[in-house]
Amino acid sequence: MLQEIPRTQAAPNSPHITAEEAAAMARAVMRLFERWQVGDGEAREILGGLASRTYARWKAGEPGRIDRDLATRLSLLMGIHKGLRYLFTDPERGYAWVKKPNLAFDSRTPLAVMAQGDIFSLARVRAYLDAERSGW
């Protein structure tokens, strides 16, 4: 006998990133920075100028409280990672891409753009990858 599977809502009940989701993204971003071979200084700038002590706690697996700005940055970084995984069948090529000069960024590396520190730079890299994926 067939049973109907309950439909999921088009919009989630809570549009906000939960503390558990933010902590999981923080752990994933720390691993991603390792794969991208990002230095601590650059990583702290990408995360919005995170203090050295706070970043050290993050590296130790203790992100603590994550505010809305930081959660948004983590979400953008996860989107960048996802875009690279879609574009490159070889993950290592995707990890290397962030350190290669790109004409779309005035011959700067995507990592240099992200390390400018403002959230718009992260969004710019994310939007570029989304456009590349969609064929725009």
- Could you read off the pLDDT of 68-78 as tens digits, one per residue? 899 999 999 99
Residues 105 and 114: beta-carbon distance below 8 Å = no
pLDDT at 9 over 80: no
pTM: 0.86
| pLDDT at position 12 | 60
- Could you read off the pLDDT of 64-123 as tens digits, one per residue? 889 989 999 999 999 999 999 999 999 999 999 999 999 999 999 999 999 998 999 999
For the chain, what are the domain ranges? 19-134
pLDDT category of residue 8 using cuts at 50, 70 and 90: low
Strand partners, 108: 102
pLDDT at 135 over 80: no
Residues 101 and 107: beta-carbon distance below 8 Å = yes
Residue 35: Cβ within 10 Å count: 14
Token digits of residue 81: 């990672």
- Could you read off the pLDDT of 30-73 as tens digits, one per residue? 999 999 999 999 999 999 999 999 999 999 988 888 998 999 99
